[in-house]
Amino acid sequence: MKLAENIKLLTIEREGEGVFNLVLAWDEKHLVLVDAGWPWQIDKIKEAIANEGFHAENLTHIILTHQDPDHIGCVSELKKLAPNLKVVAHVDEAPYLDGRVLPIKLAAALSRYETMPEKERASIDLWKSTYENDPISVTEPVQDGDILPICGGIEIVHTPGHTPGHIAVYFKESRILVCGDAANIEDGKLVGFYPIYIHDMALAEKSLEKIESHDISGIVAYHTGFLAID
């Protein structure tokens, strides 16, 4: 789906559970992907990029909105395809990605591990193994207000609450904002976050206000799609 002259929405199926909404942007020298699905979705992501006339091997940047496994899963595979790929994430999120700190939701899951059904334990084992054996080095740590001088200018908007270093990604030229899991879209309206998944409710509420006050022409929510604002 075309969002702007140099921005496309990539819808990646979640095996019968709807889609993930990744974003692809480009200029003459750069090819940028926002978020990276589950580890087993690399072929679908490569195909989605190819369908837009590009190749995953030519990616120059991947911007991660936050640490959750459904957002970072294919980073390692993409780096194999594009060895010079720059990984962009908030400075507060970097320790959770590179293995210095156990990811928040994984730590919570491990605290319940002994009481889990065997099938759920297997999922947690895979998740834990991914973080331990395949850490992600953040090559471009960013903070609120930083601007990447690519694709017409990409502003980093710190939107903590879902995780400490959660960010939204604002394409200044087109005024498209990619909000990750900081907000959602339902019935054609921006409805905010799902409380069950929030790490810090007070911060999440402030981040939602920050998103709503931004000058945007459209917003992409990772789980619930795109909403045109004007």
Q: Are residues 116 and 24 in the same domain?
A: no
Q: Which residue, 135, 160, 195, sits at the end of a domain?
A: 135
- If you average pLDDT over residues 30-40, what whole number do you get? 94
CB-based contacts of 188, cutoff 8 Å, min separation 6: 227
Are 38 and 65 within 8 A, CB to CB?
A: no
Q: Are residues 65 and 75 in the same domain?
A: yes
Element (H, E) at 87: strand 86-90
Task: Tell me the pLDDT of the chain averaged across its residues.
Answer: 93
Q: Are residues 51 and 165 in the same domain?
A: yes
Handedness of CA 88, 34, 165, 167 (dihedral sign): positive
User: Which residue in 16, 33, 26, 14 sits closest to 220, CA to CA?
Assistant: 33
Q: Which residue, 135, 160, 180, sits at the end of a domain?
A: 135
Q: Are residues 124 and 17 in the same domain?
A: no
Q: Is the pLDDT of residue 17 over 70?
A: no
CB atoms within 10 A of CB 200: 16
What strand order describes the sheet that includes 7-13? 2-4, 7-13, 19-26, 31-34, 61-63, 86-90, 140-142
Q: Are residues 19 and 107 in the same domain?
A: no
**Residue span of the structural domain in which 126 resides:** 100-135
The alpha helices in 98-200, defined as continuous H runs, are 104-111, 118-133
Q: Are residues 104 and 19 in the same domain?
A: no
Q: Are residues 43 and 123 in the same domain?
A: no
Q: Are residues 126 and 192 in the same domain?
A: no
Are 74 and 38 within 8 A, CB to CB?
A: yes
Q: Are residues 87 and 188 in the same domain?
A: yes
Q: Is the pLDDT of residue 150 over 80?
A: yes
Report how many domains make up the chain: 2
Tell me the pLDDT tens digit for each residue of 97-137.
Answer: 998 998 988 888 888 898 888 888 887 888 888 788 889 99
Q: Are residues 42 and 92 in the same domain?
A: yes
User: Which residue in 180, 150, 149 sits closest to 167, CA to CA?
Assistant: 180
Using DSSP's 3-state secondary structure scheme, residue 7 falls into strand
User: Which residue in 55, 90, 63 sits closest to 220, CA to CA?
Assistant: 63
The pTM (predicted TM-score) of the whole model is 0.94
Tell me the pLDDT tens digit for each residue of 81-95.
Answer: 999 999 999 999 999
Q: Are residues 110 and 28 in the same domain?
A: no
CATH of residue 223: 3.60.15.10
Q: Are residues 36 and 149 in the same domain?
A: yes
Element (H, E) at 45: helix 42-51
